[in-house]
Amino acid sequence: MEDYRELVERAKRRDKDAFAGLYELVYQDMYRFALYTLKNGQDAEDVVSDTVADAFESIRRLRSAEAFRGWIFKILSNKCKRKLKEYVRKTVEVPDDLCMGQDFTEGALVREAFAKLTDEERLIISMQLFAGYSSREIGQVLHKSDNTVRSSKSRALKKLEQLLKE
């Protein structure tokens, strides 16, 4: 694979193929992050798509090649936070028979339990698991202390574990 720094430098010069190469390195984690945060596949695809478009437009401002992953995930997490705020403003009826009669796989059970966490708990866990953010970095994004992030993450993981036992 081509040197990471070279891809960033070429992408800064508006080379679409180079940007596509960078995107290829992170797209699965970006989608997972958005899906687990938003709990909606279509919305996850939309925010990832918006993130990629915005990142391509502003990649010239990226200071170092090593920062690409954190930079694009910061854009994504901000878009996810905005989308979560939209959710609060609207209500949706969920059909009663949505999951009736289906066999749940282990992954589906994890997703179901994850969906029962609060928006902030999902965001914190997603930022760490899928984006690789540290507690300090998550705290900066969410405007919280890293100690608060660590305790919130710990409580969320215990809650998730309890939900999976039920």
Q: For residue 39, what pLDDT is reported?
A: 84
SS (H, E, C) the chain: CCCHHHHHHHHHCCCHHHHHHHHHHHHHHHHHHHHHHHCCHHHHHHHHHHHHHHHHHHHHHCCCHHHHHHHHHHHHHHHHHHHHHHHHHCCCCCCCCCCCCCCCCHHHHHHHHHHCCCHHHHHHHHHHHCCCCCHHHHHHHHCCCHHHHHHHHHHHHHHHHHHHHC
pLDDT tens for 6-15 read 999 999 999 9
In CATH, the architecture of 4-165 is Orthogonal Bundle (1.10)
pLDDT tens for 92-147 read 444 444 444 444 466 677 778 888 888 888 888 888 877 778 888 888 877 889 89
pLDDT tens for 94-109 read 444 444 444 446 667 7
* Average pLDDT value for residue range 85-95: 58
Q: For residue 5, what pLDDT is reported?
A: 85
